[in-house]
A and B are shown apart, each in its own frame.
Chain A
């Protein structure tokens, strides 16, 4: 019956071009160790053919900050699982954060892992969308010119509009 033809044809057409899966990540931390997980997950998702976007908010915005993204550090204080494990009193002395950061960078280099700027290039090269939280920019006095190229300035509603269609969402 022709009555059934149209819906069936529409369903078939919908199956022929499935919507890509989508991952929506929030990067809220600005330390070197916490910059990796969202970048790794987004890069991997894009490699799988998924749409991927990261919302950089609060300290996570440092990952997009031109003058800071190459200088992210690992906390030596109150970080019992860090690359060098120090009592907090020792972790507070000058140079301890730099030492912890150096150890982690050596780990990554020795494992042939890309550094954060390289991961940013890889992610952007695969079309991962970088959302810069506009409220964070206002609160922390960060201008668009302070950010690396290719960021989209977005508030929570704009990111949630992207995340509403996500199959996977994570907060880092």
Chain B
């Protein structure tokens, strides 16, 4: 949980939150992570620019690991590995 996993980590589930504003990406990501097992990886796509701060904050607060962030021109893509605490 403390060290980032390899970036080629396989994705367990994907969640499309494009077009959605805060708090929906965090709300939906938390629900999706709740359905996963510790160590599983969620790929989340957003368009809300606030997500660039919100998703890392969510991972920190929940005890998940943010494996990667891709800040594209139109979308942001996050790989979040579920931690053991949640």
Query: Which residues of A are in contact with B by a Cβ distance under 8 Å?
Result: 21, 40, 43-44, 47-50, 111-114, 122, 126
Contact = CB atoms under 8 A, between A and B. Distances in A.
Given A40-B22, A47-B58, A49-B61, 12 more contacts: A43-B23, A44-B23, A44-B26, A47-B23, A47-B26, A47-B27, A49-B30, A111-B21, A112-B19, A112-B20, A113-B21, A122-B27
Greatest chain A CB density within 10 A among B22, B27, B61, B63 is at: B27
Contacts of B5: none
Which of under 10, 10 to 19, 20 to 34, or 35 or more describes the interface residues of B?
Answer: 10 to 19
Interface of B: 19-24, 26-27, 29-31, 57-58, 61-63, 85-86
B27 A44 contact: yes
A44 B62 CA distance: 11
Contacts of B22: 40, 44
